[in-house]
Amino acid sequence: MGRRDSPVSPAPVFCKLRKVRGMQECRMSGRMEDIMIRIEDLSVAFGDTEAVKHVNLELIDGEVLGVVGESGSGKSVTALTLMGLVADSAQVTSGRVLFDDVVLREAGKPCDKALYRQYQGARMSMVFQEPMTSLNPTQRVGKQVEEMLRLHTELRGEDRKQKVLEAFRSVGLREVEKVYSCYPHQLSGGMRQRVMIAMAVILHPRLIVADEPTTALDVTIQNQIIELLREINQKQNNAMLFITHDLNLARRLCNRIAVMKDGEVVELGETEEIFQNPREAYTKRLIEAVPSRVKRRRNAAAESGMGEPAGSGPDGKIPAGGEAAEKAGTEQEECAVQGWNTGREQGAGLERSAGQEKSAGLQECAVQGYRKPILRVRNLSVYYKDGDNSLFSRRKKQCVVFGAEFELYPGESLGLVGESGCGKTSLSKAILGMNREVEGEIVHTTLRPQMIFQDPYSSLNPTKTIGWQLMEPLRARAALDQAFAMTREEMETAAYDMLHKVGMEDKYFHRKPSQLSGGQRQRVSIGQALITHPGMIVADEPVSALDVTIQAQIMELMQKLQQEMHLSYLFISHDINVVYRMCDRIMVMKDGRIIESGETEEIFNHPREAYTKMLLGA
């Protein structure tokens, strides 16, 4: 560690300022001591499957190296091998990993865990992709972060706590005293990720391996975290391996970018060179798949033949407060019933499913200028109980959503955006009946609305295969209604078909969640929600963990199914560009209240609220 405190010579400074070109000149001049991390010809295999193939990477002090690629390309396995955290079943079949010329891992030799313990935490740390599974659910998060200080510093008692609170503030957490005392399940997904980042940076290690560190964060907090990482990088001269599927973030933060495909580094170069003049066709495809506000948004409701939302005027705008829906009221009910009856009468001699009858009726209503909402929410407030479970303590209710009002129409995508902790997920769970502590009115006409969860690893059963979990919704539906009963062969066929639709191969059918990458687990979660063909889906960050090419595929798949089946989406996301591409209307939420709503183009081009403008500017 003495070298870290020594004066920095002009050559290393020149090397950092000039990024890769400077690093190459340093190497040519013989200053190899500036290379902190060397990954040489690294290959890692799980049984007969080679996950990483002959990877060569180097990091110098102060450099940020981005690693991008599709899910399953070997990014995380490379990082875990570097950190000494790869599973025991993994075999390093070639190459080695060096930290300051010290060999940490080498082919043909077992992992030296005692050696790694000297480096993990104090000299190198990692921000994991799945905060819910990385944090201990039985301990308060403040104590978990304090453990880093207990193991690696001389701080005691109150000094340790104040250091943790300071770290929490630095990563954008509010009410840090309260967060300190919370368990992981009491925090939103974004707040849990920020706790993980605070734990990783609190000791200012020389190397930070960030595996999708901003996946669960909204755009404003993403900016804060990126600026925080950049500030730490500049002040402490840390090196960083930044793994991400968000190419925009990689472009903002990284000095160089390595593009991985099928376990290999297919392209490596300076960031702007990669973006301006990519050599490989695969790199070009990744860049083209990035969601952008420049790309035209598809109006799913119009394409599905459902027309403009009910109550819209000549300019297509929807009156605030749901007044149009209330005014239409009884006429909508009568129109829907008449439409379904007409479908039955016209189908004499033919068997029509309930879904077909409903679709025909809704289309007839659309022609007449009315549409019955598939979901109507009126003056909805959502609560959580505070306090412990003691027999002698009275638990108080805390309101997290205040007086929400909106409608969702057949064939429509309604976006819900806002910062982490603003109440988006709490509102969605109340709509699906997963939180009973509510006041107000929730009315929806679908039989079995489904949800795509934000954290796929915690929502999937770790003991069951992917095939079993895809078939489970079909078994549950049949248990509720024998009309939907299917044979095992039919369920397996449907599960394999859904695997293909979400971009996965047959070989994953018999694997378990722990054997999949984060993006692959999210695709399975999406498949579970879609396999029963529900009328309404609440999608809570459905593409946040996916790389850009799979994001594009999943969004196209969801839009295609929406058009074919007249699905309605309540689409929750922190990615403004994704919302722009997917949604017909948008609601903006802040501190538990819906402060602005309207058509997507109107919100993006003429936002009224200062908070909305800030989100769009971020």
Q: Is 26 helix (H, G, I), strand (E, B) or coil?
A: helix
pLDDT at 330: 35
Question: Hey, what are 326's tokens?
Answer: 């209330």
Q: ∠ CA(79), CA(81), CA(83), 5° rounding?
A: 70
Nearest to 123 by CA among 46, 224, 37: 37
DSSP string, 418-435: --TTSSHHHHHHHHTTS-
- Where is pLDDT greater, at 363 or 585? 585
pLDDT of residue 523: 84
* E strands, 142-263, in order: 207-211, 239-243, 256-261
**Pairwise pLDDT comparison (30 vs 426), residue with the higher score:** 426
By CB neighbour count within 10 A (0-12 exposed, 13-18 middle, 19+ buried), where does 439 fall?
middle
- Which neighbouring-strand residues pair with 44? 52, 92
Q: What does the pLDDT look like over 81-121, one tens digit per residue?
A: 999 999 888 999 999 999 999 999 999 899 999 999 889 88
Total domains present in the chain: 1
Burial label, 480 (beta-carbon count in 10 A; 0-12, 13-18, 19+): exposed
Per-residue pLDDT of 480-513, as tens digits, reads: 888 899 999 999 999 999 898 888 899 999 999 9
CA 527, distance to chain mean position in Å, is 16
Residue 30 predicted with pLDDT over 60: no
Residues forming beta bridges with residue 302, ordered by sequence position: none
Cα–Cα nearest to 213, from 194, 231, 227: 194
Q: Which two tokens stand for residue 473?
A: 């919704």
In angstroms, the CA 567 to CA 537 distance is 7
Cα–Cα dist 199/142, whole Å: 10
pLDDT at residue 358 in the model: 37
Q: Are 571 and 416 in contact (CB under 8 A)?
A: yes
Give the number of residues written for the chain: 618
Highest-confidence segment of 186-190, 383-387, 455-459, 583-587 = 583-587
Whether 321 is in a domain gets the answer no
Report the half-sphere exposure of 384 (CA within 13 A, side-chain side). Answer: 15
Extended beta strands in 128-219, E state: 207-211
Q: Which residues contact residue 428 at a Cβ distance below 8 angstroms, ignoring those fewer than 6 apart?
A: 416, 451, 538, 540, 570, 572
State yes or no: pLDDT of 44 exceeds 50. yes
Specify if 589 maps to a domain.
yes
For 563-599, what is each residue's pLDDT tens digit?
Answer: 877 889 999 987 888 899 899 999 999 999 999 999 9
Residue range 453-468, pLDDT digits in tens: 877 777 899 999 999 9
Backbone phi, then psi, for 49, in 5-degree steps? -100, 120
Of residues 8 and 594, the one with the higher pLDDT is: 594
Q: Which residue has the higher pLDDT, 17 or 122?
A: 122
pLDDT over threshold 80, residue 12: no
| pLDDT band at residue 21 using 50, 70 and 90 as cut-offs | very low
Tell me the three state secondary structure of residue 366.
Answer: helix
**Residue range 304-321, pLDDT digits in tens:** 444 444 434 333 333 333
Per-residue pLDDT, 395: 65
Residue found under tokens 């749901």: 322
Structure tokens at 278: 């990519």
* Residue 11 forms part of a structural domain: no
Backbone φ, ψ for residue 576 (5° rounding) = -60, -40
Amino acid sitting at position 506:
D
Lowest mean pLDDT among 7-11, 283-287, 339-343: 339-343
Query: CB–CB of 471/491 below 8 Å?
Result: yes
Please indicate, yes or no, if residue 336 is contained in any of the structural domains.
Answer: no
Helix 189-201 with 219-236: angle, nearest 10 deg: 0
What would the two tokens of residue 359 be? Answer: 């679709």
Task: Give me the amino acid identity at 6.
Answer: S
pLDDT tier for residue 332 given thresholds of 50, 70 and 90: very low
Considering the domain boundaries, does residue 190 fall inside one? no
pLDDT over 70 percentage in the chain: 79
- The answer to whether position 119 is within a domain reads no
Tell me the C-alpha distance between 73 and 486, whole Å. Answer: 36
pLDDT exceeds cutoff 80 at 290: no
Angle at which helix 157-170 crosses helix 189-201, to 10 degrees, equals 120
Backbone dihedral angles phi then psi of residue 187, each to the nearest 5 degrees: -110, 155
Q: Does the CA dihedral 495-500-505-508 come out positive or negative? A: negative
How far, in Å, CA of 323 to CA of 329, rounded? Answer: 10
Model pTM score: 0.66
pLDDT computed for residue 516 by the predictor: 87
Distance CA 55, CA 69 (A): 14
Amino acid at 582: M
The predicted pLDDT at position 231 comes to 82
Q: Tell whether the model's pLDDT for residue 176 goes beyond 60.
A: yes
Residue 585 lies inside a defined structural domain of this protein: yes
pLDDT of residue 257: 96
Residue 424 lies in a domain: yes
CA distance 447 to 345: 24
Is pLDDT of 77 > 50? Answer: yes
Which of 251-255, 311-315, 390-394 has the least mean pLDDT? 311-315
The CATH number assigned to the domain holding 541 equals: 3.40.50.300
pLDDT band at 340 (very low <50, low <70, confident <90, very high): very low
Q: What percent of the chain has pLDDT over 90?
A: 44
Q: Mean of the pLDDT values across residues 329-353?
A: 31
Domain span at 444: 378-449+534-617
Question: Band of the pLDDT at 80, cuts 50, 70, 90?
Answer: very high
Please tell me the distance from the alpha carbon of residue 222 to that of residue 227, in angstroms, as a whole number: 8
What's the chain's average pLDDT?
A: 79
